[in-house]
Amino acid sequence: MKNTTAKKLLKRQDGQAAIEFITVVVVIFFFLFFMLSLSITLVVSDYIEYATFMAARTLKSMYSTDAVQDRLARQEFFKYAERVQGIARNFDFQIKQKDVNDEQTWGVEASYDIDLFYLPPLFTKGGQPPSVIRLSAQAYLGRDPSFESCINFFDRLANTLGFGISGSGLVQQMADNAC
């Protein structure tokens, strides 16, 4: 009697090892893909931090006008950002001044969307993954005066002090040496 009960019990457990194996493999793959996605997110966010720093560095460089500084900083950021376009998207890039009274608080801020956990399009509704997060990066290095601002400053200074060189090439030479 005991022997037949044991055989019936064993017959009811057919396939249990396969079900346990599948369950464990699914959990392991979930954690593996999550760690891979998290790693990609961290690497891309560091890369965007670097792109933001390079844009702020370009903004700090002295160019002919403020508009040229802004344009070149924007170009520098998007030159880096286009390399991770498939992973990070919806970039919002702004040139800001934290304190209006301090010229050294100019910098750039960038925000973007990234998938924390990648799901293939077959598993998402409407193609938009449910795990999109918004990240941002900031870099404030200040802003050097543009060459145009420098010339205007020295032109006003020469005019105020009565040097009689306002609007001449001597003002530009002063700006070349002092800016």
Q: Which among 5-14, 112-121, 129-138 has the top mean pLDDT?
A: 129-138
Confidence at 168, pLDDT banded by 50, 70, 90: low
**What is the residue extent of each domain of the chain?**
15-144, 145-179
* Segment 28-49, tens digit of pLDDT: 988 898 888 889 999 999 999 9
pLDDT of res. 83 = 93
Confidence at 16, pLDDT banded by 50, 70, 90: confident
129-138 long-range Cβ contacts below 8 angstroms, 24+ apart: 133/41, 135/45, 135/48, 135/111, 136/109, 136/110, 136/111, 136/112, 137/45, 137/48, 137/49, 137/51, 137/52, 137/109, 137/110, 137/111, 138/52, 138/107, 138/108, 138/109, 138/110
Q: What's the Cα-to-Cα distance from 131 to each of 38, 114, 126, rounded to whole Å?
A: 11, 8, 13
Mean predicted confidence (pLDDT) in 154-178 = 69
Specify the pTM: 0.70
pLDDT of res. 6 = 62
pLDDT of res. 118 = 62
